[in-house]
Amino acid sequence: MVRSPIHRNEALVLFLTIASILFWLYVAGVSVYNFGLFKSEMANQVFPKVISNLLAYFLPTLEILTAFLLAFSTTRLLGMALSLLMISAFTLYVGLALLRIYENVPCTCAGLLKHGNSWGTNFLLNLLITAVALIGFILTYKQRKEVDKRYGFHIQN
């Protein structure tokens, strides 16, 4: 039996959703598990201390919320948008570090790349994850648009 492109897209959306959920839960989990270290690393960031302290609590919460939103079909599009927004912001942050915009080079707080890996490697990984998030958002948007059209709802363009 030949599968239609719709079924392949649904399978791809499911795969990208699961990958995104695992990614955000991993990132949040590392931050929460090593919260003391994460909080001290956040204090070494380029932000004012009060912002760094808020981010230490806000980022893992937002990452868990994103994974939660991705888990349900009714909130998946919002989760994909939030996922794309966050990884884009992280990628921009790493890109600016590569360009030596910051006085001090910030840490790689997510723990995906252990010590000894370069900021270039971190940036390439972030670009890959950004591409995955963008594809996931686009396919989820198209899927949602088709479902809404089928049931008489309309997404504003």
* Residue 150 domain-assigned (yes or no): no
This model's pTM is above 0.75: yes
Q: Between the CA of residue 109 and those of 19, 75, 81, 106, 150, what are the distances in Å?
A: 20, 27, 22, 9, 43
* Residue 157 domain-assigned (yes or no): no
Q: What is the pLDDT of residues 86-116, one digit of tens each?
A: 999 999 988 888 888 877 666 655 555 555 5
* Residue 139 domain-assigned (yes or no): yes
Task: Measure CA 106 to chain center.
Answer: 19
For the chain, what percent of residues have pLDDT higher than 90?
A: 55
* Residue 47 domain-assigned (yes or no): yes
- Tell me: pLDDT of 141 over 80: yes
Q: What is the pLDDT of residue 144?
A: 85
Q: What is the pLDDT of residue 109?
A: 53
* Residue 154 domain-assigned (yes or no): no
Number of domains in the chain: 1
Phi/psi at 30 (nearest 5 deg)?
Answer: -65, -45
Range of the domain at 117: 5-145
Q: What is the pLDDT of residue 22?
A: 97
Q: Encode 52-82: b = buried (16+ Cβ within 10 Å), e = exposed.
A: beebbeebbebbbbbbebbeeeeebbebbbb
Largest CA distance in the chain: 59
Residue type, 154: H
Pick from 31-35, 40-44, 58-62, 122-126: least confident = 40-44
* Residue 152 domain-assigned (yes or no): no
Q: Report which of 41, 55, 48 is spatially closest to residue 106, judged by C-alpha positions.
A: 41
The answer to whether the CB of 112 falls within 8 A of the CB of 125 is yes
pLDDT, average across residues 20-45: 92
* Residue 156 domain-assigned (yes or no): no
Q: What is the pLDDT of residue 97?
A: 83
Residue whose token pair is 């990452």: 63
Residue type, 44: N
Q: What is the mean pLDDT of the chain?
A: 86
Looking at per-residue pLDDT, the higher value among 114 and 21 belongs to 21
Pick from 32-36, 56-60, 66-70, 152-156: least confident = 152-156
* Residue 71 domain-assigned (yes or no): yes
